[in-house]
Amino acid sequence: MWTPSRIPASNRACNLASVKHRLPLRLLGHHKDRYYARACATTDNESETHARDCVRREVLLGGGASFLALGPLWPVPSANALTLEEVTPTILPAGAISAREASAISVYERNTYSVAKIVDIALQGRAAASPEVDIPEGNGTGLVWDAEGHVVTCFHVLLQSLKALGPDLAARAASGTARVAKVTLLDPVSGTEQVYDAVLAGADRTRDLAVLRLLGPPAAGGLRPAELGSSAGLRVGQQCFAIGNPFGFGQTFTSGVISALGRDIPSQLGTTIPGGIQTDASINPGNSGGPLLDSSGRVIGINAAIFTPTGSSAGVGFAIPIDMVRRVIPQLIAHGKVLRPSLEVQIATDSVAQRLKVGRGALVQSVTPGGAGDRAGLLPTRRGLAGIITGDVILALDGRPLNSSGDLLVALDSRAAGDSVLLRVARSTDQGLQELELRVTLAEDK
């Protein structure tokens, strides 16, 4: 049994509390449940020889007991010692840029020429007189889509001008004369601002998206289209950036993380955009229509809305996923509208469905007489002798489960008019809820 009295006098004189440097323990070996390690210590008043004496620590792992045995051992090889340089954190010289900062700067510099300032011409002259006054609706951000002069923004940024064009926006877009905005871009060559008139190329109120076409766009090389990424496979916690014109301050760069995915975005137009990206990157009035970027500088979404009680950023912003934008924009450029498939029924909002105690699925509120849903046998919500009878609740489309009305819109986005789909619905009957399957041929949304 080891006792303190058996410590050599020279070692008893060593006051462990005065140890100035302590090397990491080095595992020497083990025997059954005992592990042996050694370390060297130096003291204030010991000779150099004694300063390199080693202590042996024997830890009993079994039973939770432990004790320390001290005795001179051979010196630890110098290869195991840490140098002062190895344990000192790297300190950048004054004015130096870290690798993380350099990456963020690169994202900004690569995208700044692809981001536009958009002003609705119906609201020109109503911009704020000072930074303390909110920029009104109609001042926003856009994204250079291609080298042909198409710029993408949000529908609500151009709301006043689009209202003035009337209900048939596709026809007005086809005319090529519907001037709706002023677009300001940085020239990639000179770095100076260039202002262009822009006409409507197409608009989709449902997804809060619009496409502008620049009149008299610059020559080849004068436009720098944004590099598009993908919103599939995004993870909560990923770093992201936003570039826009909040409160009229052009080319403003903010950073944050993706804080949630799959959000239903309540747009200013009264529609709900499914599958949205939530971020805490600072987004304010004027950012709408601008890009949300990943850490590589690729566009993963179009900033569209913020949730705030004050009108300014509260750390909860929403972006339309770029994969949805990719499906919509080519149709707007080609047709002026989206050729979206339809069941030709009206789906109740989630709040209405909840009041009617529908917990899951898409509730059919009304059915267009003679339409696709009517021909397939879908029943609307109606009033009976005992009160309101809920309509059919669509639970799945082609085997894909639907938890909300937004899920139905997402499922239909991947279909085309004329496609045949199989719906699984829950129907209220006198005998209670009954599940059945209905085959529907999708019509073109009008």
Residues with catalytic function = 156, 208, 288
- Report residue 394 as tokens: 């669509």
**418 torsion bin: left (phi>0), alpha (psi -120 to 50), beta (else):** left
Tell me, what DSSP letter sits at residue 423? E
Buried/exposed code over 115-152 (b: 16+ C-beta within 10 A; e: otherwise): bbbbbbbbbeeeeeeeeeeebebbbbbbbbbeeebbbb
Name the β-bridge partners of 333.
none
Let me know: does 109 contact 293? Beta carbons within 8 Å: no
Phi, psi of 18 (to 5 degrees): -95, 10
10 Å Cβ neighbour count for 404?
19
Residue corresponding to tokens 């599958």: 275
10 Å Cβ neighbour count for 383?
8
Helix (H), strand (E) counts: the chain: 10, 27
Give the H/E segment covering residue 58.
Answer: strand 54-60
Gyration radius of the chain over CA positions = 33
- Report residue 125 as tokens: 């002259």
List Cβ neighbours of 282 (8 Å cut-off, separation of 6 or more).
242, 246, 254, 256, 313, 315, 317
Tell me which residue of 270, 295, 264, 261 sits closest to 111, measured CA to CA: 295
Phi, psi of 419 (to 5 degrees): -70, 145
